[in-house]
Structure 1
Amino acid sequence: MKHLFLLLLALPAFAQKTYTTLQVPGRADYCKIDSAGRSVLPSGRYVTPAGRSLRITSDPFGLALSPDGSKAVTLHDGVLTIIQTATQRAVRVPDYAGTIKSPLGGATFLGVAVAPDNRTVYLSNGDKGRVIVFDTERLVATDSISLDGNGYEDSFTSDLLLNGSELLALDRANFRLVRIDLATKRITASIPTGRQPFGLALSPDKKTAFVANVGLYAYPKVPGVTKTNKDTMALKFPPYAAHTKESRDGVEVEGRKIPGLGSPLADEAMSVWLVDLATNKVTAKLKTGVQIGEMIEEAEVVGGSSPNSVAVGSRFAYVSNATNDNISVIDYKTRKLAGTIPIKIDPKLDRYRGLMPFGLTLSKDEKTLYVALLAFNAVAVIDVPTRKVRDLIPTGWGPTRVRLSPDEKQLYVVSARGYGAGPNGGASFVKPPQGTYIGDIQLGLFQAYPTPTPPRKGGTLPSGSFSPSLTGRGWGRVLANTYQTVTLTDDGKNPLPVLPKTRTSPIKHIVYITKENRTYDEVLGQLETGRGDSTLARFGTGVTIKQRVSTSRGNAGRTTDQATDTVRITAADVMPNHTRVARQFAFSDNFYCDSDASIHGHHWMMGTIPNEWVEAQSASEGRFLPDSKAPGRRFPKTTGAIDPEDYNEIGGMWEALKRNKISFYNFGQANEYAGSVEEWTTTQFGAAQSVVFPMPEAVYGNTSRNFAGYNTNIPDQYRLKQFEEEFTAKWLGKSKQALPQLLTVMLPNDHGAGPRPDFGYPYLHSYMADNDLAVGRILHFLSRTPYWKNMLVIITEDDPQGGVDHVDAHRSLLMLAGPYVKRGYVSHTHANFGSILKIIYNILGVGYVNQYDLTASLLQDFFTDKPDFRPYDAVLPDARVFDPQQAMKPYKLPFDWRKIQKGPEMDDRADQRADHYRQQNDGY
């Protein structure tokens, strides 16, 4: 019996198990651009574009070919590129030297068409509500056609195409299709469409126009709000959650009746409309794709299908439904839906979304459909008769449009981000002509590829279960660029399980802290254990702070204003807590934001892949006009939240947590909608609403009503006051509840803003110091609570656009802290937002939501099974840079450093004393 007992003691507590995981192929690589080989993206995926590639300006969302095939014209944000297809020589308008003027005035959106003369092009002037006529030989604008007039104003030109002697154009502001007679330049008809008309196509017989509408709701102005009273009358918190009874019918909030948005299943919402051009009548309103409220594999659909582009044959039209990863087929002779083409790529991936079909084109024989997969970096070649994917063509990052040459010998593809960004600073960096801002340095790609030959009659189509090969072409290469199958043995010790729901982690609570707009080098570039460039560490320790000062100087009787950099502070410690946390706990020097800017970042961070609507809008100028008669001018374009138009099919992190019954609570995320009011007094939620936008239903009831999210007018110190008070009241006080398994906390002031000396921010660096102290304080506070022993804190940025980095413009901050995080550790494993979500999902037992979660790198190297429970001690930043007392002065609140250092009051002493004697008297 004794020997049996000893044998039992020797047995492992957790039997080793082997699991198969999918992880990105670049998990051991740093981001790099290699146009002759394979480039490593922020996601850890590779891109190896097939055929001939030409780097062009970023974000080409419009593409048209001349009728003779000699030219391709791409449309970008305020830029067009004219490409000679035979030589792949390109002219950028305007050019970087300033010798070729822009005809666009900075405003564009999607639409471009080339006239039969092969030199005249028609360009969407987007926000300006015009069509620009441009001569590609003389490189000058020859005319301009306004969509305003006849009772319409504030037009916004979207997609357009030529129809003989007329031009068809979509006006997304006024929800209409416009017909323009090119001889007279007059509008001959305005035909109502659904909301936010986005894609336009024409049947071969020129009788039927197809309009793809990506809008879901028409958003009303908040009653009672005017231009002069919006600071006080805007709603302090969103009035309702999306897709609820309240959002349909309206609700009374803050003493006002807030109108509802109606049904998300309305004909006007995310649909394709057919227009008879002989009568100017709408003949069909079709709801393509999967509808909101349906169930897919026990998950409720919350995102509309986002039908965005249409290709038309002699009888059938094909519509790309971005959210659903499928193609709807319309029999437009009967004006009915005729089926769906699911884009099946690989059995390991197919149950998850992550392709985002966007632009598409149909071969002349109508047997092959080519579809740009925006989120999968490939073009899908679909065999129409069998409705199956026949092949994949590797592209650059984020393909948007695809076209066949007139002779169908070449396939042309444009990609929004090409090979990625690459470095945008550092000792050996040479500034390119396009500049160093992430949105400029990251060039797009124009790709020419010989048209794939279909299989011979009787041949078999690929099954989709190919073995990836780095040297393979087509399908195999695309899969190899996307993921590798990695077999791992789990001995039960690492606090991060290999897969969700396989075992219990000692980590019970995760605090997910998100910040704004910083790169790795500018904050942590001085750390000797990481791959940094200390010369770029402007927010590090011992730095010099300069400020640009305007000076007047007389010269020959004239006075000129000049700006000079003047040293204000030397040897300043701007963000000492970041350095301290990184040294004491663990950080990554190989983490990248998938995002370029906040509009992408707040989607990616919360597990939502930005769709074509988000990407196209972020790459275009657009005025938000809440008082306009044009309903589309109150368009959804959040920078710090997620709009109903943006929801993925089954949502993102919020919805996944709710489905899996994981408790969570949100401090400040999902707060910044279009047209929000952000003043220093807007302290309840950080941003007030002048237009009615709903929050995602899953997070609406789990969001603090008294925590200021994004608003750099409010100190992060004020947010810490709000956080500590609510945390103490809910989870430490007399009637404490159970701490949720996940807390999300936004600390946004490292975004930076202009100097505000009277408010305690004399320099840009002051915002960084404010944010740094907040990060230090929250760790100081959390590590002194009883929850610390089972806690993980994740600290990251939403995007890197504010700074520069010598490895890649997307490289940013990722720091982990907690007892089960290794001390003094630096991770070199390639990581992105998918890696962070994989940590959250694996620990909390939540199934993956999309392909980016599924294939992200697994960051087990951060963790240890030997916990260290020592708390973190926050430090003050340089007082010359930021004075927290001065920042809190406008609110008439003290900054009590001694009280902060003491930590949370976990129990009320009087209550505890009374309870002690009560128990004594009761005989306990």
Structure 2
Amino acid sequence: MRFSFAFIPFLFISAFLFSQNRMVKTLQVPGRNEFCKIDTTGGYSVLPSGRRVTPVGTTLRITNDPFGLAVSPDGKRAVALHSGALSLIDATNPREALRIPDYAKTFTDPFKGATFLGAAFAPDSKIVYLSGGDKGNVIIFDTDKKEKIGEISLNQPVGNHLFEESFTSDLVLNAAKNELLVLDRAHFRMIRVDLATKQITASIPVGRQPFGLSLSPDKKYAFVANVGLYEYPLVPGVTPKNKDTMMLKFPPYGTFTKESIEGVEAEGRKIPGLGSPLVPEAMSVWMIDLMTNKVSGKFKTGNQIGEMIEEAEIVGGASPNSVAVGKRFAYVSNATNDNISVIDCQTRKITGHIALKVHPSINKYRGLMPFGMALTQDEKTLYVALLGFNAVAVVDLITRKVKGLIPTGWGPTKVKLSPDEKNLYVVSARGLGAGQNGGRGFIKPARGTYIGDIQLGTFQKVPLPSATELQKWTQQAIDNTFETVSLTDDGKNPLPPLPGARTSPIKYIVYVTKENRTYDEVLGQLSKGDTSLARYGTNVTVFSKKDTLRHVDVMPNHQRIAKQFAYSDNFYCDSDASIHGHHWMIGVIPNEWVEANSNHSSTFNAFSKAPGRRFPKATGAIDPEDYNETGGLWEALERKKLPFYSFGEGNEFAGVSEEWDHLEFGARQPVVFPLAKSVFDHTSRNYAGFDMNIPDWLRMDQFEKEFTEKWLTPKKGTKVDLPRVIALQLPNDHGAGVRPEAGYPYPHSFMADNDISLGRMLQFLSHTPYWKNMLVVITEDDPQGGVDHIDAHRSVLMLAGPYVKRGHVSHTHANFGSILKVIYNTLGVPYVNQYDATASLLQDFFTDKPDFTPYQMVIPDKRIFEVDKAMEIYKKTFDWKTAKPGPKMDDPDEQRREHYRQQNEN
């Protein structure tokens, strides 16, 4: 749909539009009335977000998550680098890609599971140098022989310093010197390697977490993009021997506070601060003089933390990730800011920024996430991969404006020009989406059915467009992403069509996130489900090595809640795994740092001498490096001065310890990681977040106790009101290894624990005085544990409360953006990013005729889970007369193994 109006500003709308039966214009995704689908015949594919993708040019589906791309000097070959795999492509006629190692094991695996994002061809167009990532090496690969012919270790002594535990990040070839320039993100350095001897000739300190590397045309300067914000220290007093008792029970401070800068007394010791996020080492670009091996420039690109932008404080660093260097200017993509910094290489100054504006309706919001870039030889045009917008931006460097968009697959990462500059090559991480990964008639592909295996990336060869073609493609890219939807607002629906439109009778929202289940697994016996996949439904058969149980009700509360209130049969997690999911669900778009790390091996070592090894990545928490420019849900509520509270959300930092008695937060940390400032003072200190050694039922004890003390029976004379948003993590449907002695004799036992605890929570809430104005949103952070016959991303979304339609099934395409739009519109909070602003509107869930009937929980089959058995270790039992009106989170390799184990058992 083409746009024929100037988008009405938010404040103007809220001032006059909303008497009854007013026409309202909203932005929504084009696929809001469609289910996810993959179309390889030239049509469009529908993504979990409800956006469409229509990659132009010649499109080839390749292995998932290509984050490295190289084109041979003769223009005949292209190489895409994935996690532990390589795609070898005929760049002149890309009909198929050769995957190495292949699934038939014809070719020897050259990587042994570890790669990252660096790839560079030698001048002969046959040899390619590849980043070995976590293994700290460079692989030398012969594309003719299709085999590894050598490697270079970064773990070499330099002078008197012995470097160990290196991590190979980006690399470039300096053919004139027959050398490689390589980034080692573990040791925060750039090294130079003599290819004749494979020896390191120089080791140059750079900023934190060096990520992107480029070479000037005259080969005199290297530019390093550093995406790290902090160097995270070991918690004082923690050693390998005492770590189980000395780790911190709770993060010591919030980010960007006096305490986080200077340090604080916590848990009986002095916890060091992290320093200022504005130092040159943090999120910056460094220029290195290759004649002297000295740093000749340090640039803080993009918008800086603490600045104000449109009355919102910037809380996320710019995340500079890639550099394209010309004769005079260097261009830096700042993912968080949706802009390009321009550095004058002669004056060593930032001369300006190019705002990447693609349409007036959404230019005020962030979400493009610029990543890889390609600069033309005449330096008049810059091509920028927009990771968050599924397009390549064509930037006119004379006018410094976006002159058009080229549609790509889902999540473009890298873009290259052919040597003759007639074609553009683009790789996208998730391509056309995942599609189904199970169900009747489904044929398992050789690559497998785990979500990270079945979802293919794409490689595109795109002839550079004419002005007419570019105009057409630009409109196509916009239409793929959002359209204007006019609707009549009668003033009655409890979900207003826009934030601030009017007051909703819903005052309180409880936002419940669970772990790793697909729709068909849990609700497959209901609408649009596949009963053959409903292994956690009701009246199912449970298989195990020791016995078979028949007519088992595994998760009966889920089906009761769905039938009594409302659920979606067309909801999708935008995420593949928890590292994405816990970002998306609180409105933080995963940036290039999160995406590149999510599917690549990265070993954490709290006691490493390499500072980068103390921070490979979080899993369910959000690290400071991940923050979006103005934050997400928490920051939006804080700006609006609306109270909120979190029970256990975001506790899974890197390297945490999780045991049955870690009840305060569910995890203890050996390294000093902070919480976001906005949520630090609004997080329970007595609720166990993700920790598979703790029963969900115990979490409900903690939740009910704190809820009652704070908001039902506060101290006399204390005036309280329930926070407007309560986030609560209920994670045991993640599943873990069976523990019969602890009350979990079957994998299904964890699901039953989760189910009865969810039922108990809703029963409790629906008997409080807040229920009459409450909405409970129940979902999963990601779907990676299971299978679904429509799409591997399809998952659970249930809404409960007096203003939710009873017995309703929503067919509206929904995602995390849709959930956030419910929260923002209901509470009158302005949108934060493009995904919020353009998400589908779920008004069909609601009614203006409330039903205040409370919920009554049901008890799953005691053959698979008994509450009292699981609570024995805590010396607690439950008075059933009152029941009236392990593993780390989402390590991809562990989850892949568990996925296939469960498929083999069914």
Same fold by TM-score greater than 0.5: yes
Per the alignment, residue 163 of structure 2 pairs with 152
Q: Quick one: which of 243, 246, 255 aligns to 1:242?
A: 255
| 1:571-610 matches, cutoff 5 A | 571-610=551-590
Q: Quick one: which of 441, 459, 468 aligns to 2:454?
A: 441
Per the alignment, residue 920 of structure 1 pairs with none
| 1:678-693 matches, cutoff 5 A | 678-693=658-673
Contact kept, 8 Å, 1:636 with 1:645, in 2: the verdict is: no
2:75 partner SS: coil
Contact kept, 8 Å, 2:18 with 2:502, in 1: the verdict is: no
Contact kept, 8 Å, 1:544 with 1:567, in 2: the verdict is: no
> Displacement, 1:149?
2.3
User: Does 1:509 pair with 2:489?
Assistant: no
Q: Quick one: which of 139, 143, 150 aligns to 1:136?
A: 143
Q: State the distance in 2 between where 1:710 and 1:487 align.
A: 42
Q: State the distance in 2 between where 1:160 and 1:454 align.
A: 34
> Displacement, 1:91?
1.0
Per the alignment, residue 396 of structure 1 pairs with 409
User: 1:299-327 CA deviation, whole Å, 9 max, x = no partner?
Assistant: 00000000000001111010000000000
Q: State the distance in 2 between where 1:802 and 1:876 align.
A: 24
Q: State the distance in 1 between where 2:660 and 2:414 align.
A: 43
Per the alignment, residue 114 of structure 2 pairs with 107
| 1:154-553 matches, cutoff 5 A | 154-164=165-175, 165-453=178-466, 473-527=472-526, 530-547=527-544, 549=545
TM-score (norm 1): 0.92
Per the alignment, residue 840 of structure 1 pairs with 823
2:472 partner SS: coil
Q: State the distance in 2 between where 1:569 and 1:896 align.
A: 27
Contact kept, 8 Å, 2:857 with 2:883, in 1: the verdict is: no
Per the alignment, residue 592 of structure 2 pairs with 612
| 1:563-574 matches, cutoff 5 A | 567-574=547-554
The 10-residue stretch of structure 1 (852-861 or 445-454) with the greater mean CA deviation from structure 2: 445-454
User: Does 1:35 pair with 2:35?
Assistant: no
Q: For 1:588, give the aligned amino acid.
A: S
| Residues 842 and 340 (structure 1), Cα distance of their counterparts in 2 relative to 1, 3 Å cut | same
The 10-residue stretch of structure 1 (316-325 or 737-746) with the greater mean CA deviation from structure 2: 737-746
Q: State the distance in 2 between where 1:674 and 1:715 align.
A: 22
User: Does 1:698 pair with 2:673?
Assistant: no
> Displacement, 1:759?
0.8
Q: For 1:297, give the aligned amino acid.
A: E
Q: State the distance in 1 between where 2:551 and 2:829 align.
A: 46
Contact kept, 8 Å, 2:603 with 2:616, in 1: the verdict is: no
Q: State the distance in 2 between where 1:812 and 1:473 align.
A: 35
Q: State the distance in 2 between where 1:753 and 1:650 align.
A: 36
| Residues 844 and 370 (structure 1), Cα distance of their counterparts in 2 relative to 1, 3 Å cut | same
Contact kept, 8 Å, 2:438 with 2:789, in 1: the verdict is: yes
Q: For 2:149, give the aligned amino acid.
A: T
User: Does 1:79 pair with 2:85?
Assistant: yes
Contact kept, 8 Å, 1:636 with 1:643, in 2: the verdict is: no
Q: Quick one: which of 40, 55, 59 aligns to 2:61?
A: 55
Per the alignment, residue 631 of structure 2 pairs with 651
Per the alignment, residue 639 of structure 1 pairs with 619
Contact kept, 8 Å, 2:18 with 2:501, in 1: the verdict is: no
Q: For 2:424, give the aligned amino acid.
A: L
Q: State the distance in 2 between where 1:159 and 1:503 align.
A: 51
The 10-residue stretch of structure 1 (222-231 or 823-832) with the greater mean CA deviation from structure 2: 222-231
Q: State the distance in 2 between where 1:845 and 1:833 align.
A: 18
> Displacement, 1:453?
3.9
Per the alignment, residue 899 of structure 1 pairs with 882
> Displacement, 1:263?
0.3
> Displacement, 1:18?
2.2
1:324 partner SS: coil
User: Number of aligned pairs?
Assistant: 858
> Displacement, 1:544?
1.1
The 10-residue stretch of structure 1 (662-671 or 633-642) with the greater mean CA deviation from structure 2: 633-642
1:64 partner SS: strand
> Displacement, 1:672?
0.8
Q: State the distance in 1 between where 2:792 and 2:221 align.
A: 46
Q: State the distance in 2 between where 1:567 and 1:414 align.
A: 48
User: Does 1:774 pair with 2:781?
Assistant: no
Q: State the distance in 2 between where 1:477 and 1:72 align.
A: 27
Q: State the distance in 2 between where 1:734 and 1:295 align.
A: 37
> Displacement, 1:214?
0.2
Contact kept, 8 Å, 2:655 with 2:669, in 1: the verdict is: yes
Q: For 2:519, give the aligned amino acid.
A: Y
1:209 partner SS: strand
Q: State the distance in 2 between where 1:669 and 1:866 align.
A: 33
Q: State the distance in 2 between where 1:523 and 1:786 align.
A: 31
The 10-residue stretch of structure 1 (146-155 or 41-50) with the greater mean CA deviation from structure 2: 146-155
The 10-residue stretch of structure 1 (200-209 or 726-735) with the greater mean CA deviation from structure 2: 726-735
Q: Which structure 2 residue ranges, 5 or more long, are not aligned?
A: 1-16, 886-906
Q: For 2:866, give the aligned amino acid.
A: D
Contact kept, 8 Å, 1:636 with 1:673, in 2: the verdict is: no
> Displacement, 1:15?
3.0
2:202 partner SS: strand
User: 1:327-354 CA deviation, whole Å, 9 max, x = no partner?
Assistant: 0001111111111110010010100001
Q: For 1:306, give the aligned amino acid.
A: S
Per the alignment, residue 560 of structure 1 pairs with none
1:98 partner SS: coil
Rg bigger for which structure?
1
Q: State the distance in 1 between where 2:612 and 2:619 align.
A: 18
Q: State the distance in 1 between where 2:79 and 2:92 align.
A: 14
Per the alignment, residue 813 of structure 1 pairs with 796
Identity of matched residues, %: 68
Q: State the distance in 1 between where 2:657 and 2:127 align.
A: 43
User: Does 1:857 pair with 2:840?
Assistant: yes
Q: State the distance in 2 between where 1:633 and 1:331 align.
A: 33
Q: Which structure 1 residue ranges, 5 or more long, are not aligned?
A: 1-11, 456-460, 463-471, 550-565, 903-924
Q: For 2:494, give the aligned amino acid.
A: P
Per the alignment, residue 129 of structure 2 pairs with 122
User: 1:808-865 CA deviation, whole Å, 9 max, x = no partner?
Assistant: 0000000000000000110000000000000000011100000000000000000000
Q: State the distance in 1 between where 2:237 and 2:466 align.
A: 62
Q: State the distance in 1 between where 2:323 and 2:290 align.
A: 17
1:323 partner SS: coil
1:474 partner SS: helix
Q: State the distance in 1 between where 2:105 and 2:552 align.
A: 40
Q: Quick one: which of 12, 26, 36 aligns to 2:31?
A: 26
Q: State the distance in 1 between where 2:19 and 2:466 align.
A: 53
Q: For 1:184, give the aligned amino acid.
A: T
Q: State the distance in 2 between where 1:537 and 1:336 align.
A: 60
Contact kept, 8 Å, 1:518 with 1:812, in 2: the verdict is: yes
Per the alignment, residue 687 of structure 2 pairs with 707
Q: Quick one: which of 607, 623, 646 aligns to 1:666?
A: 646
Per the alignment, residue 559 of structure 1 pairs with none
Per the alignment, residue 46 of structure 1 pairs with 52
> Displacement, 1:14?
4.7
Q: State the distance in 1 between where 2:322 and 2:174 align.
A: 18
Q: State the distance in 2 between where 1:523 and 1:597 align.
A: 18
Contact kept, 8 Å, 1:309 with 1:359, in 2: the verdict is: yes
Per the alignment, residue 850 of structure 2 pairs with 867
> Displacement, 1:67?
0.5
> Displacement, 1:488?
1.6
> Displacement, 1:16?
2.8
Q: State the distance in 2 between where 1:898 and 1:94 align.
A: 59
Q: State the distance in 2 between where 1:91 and 1:234 align.
A: 47
TM-score (norm 2): 0.94
Contact kept, 8 Å, 2:138 with 2:151, in 1: the verdict is: yes
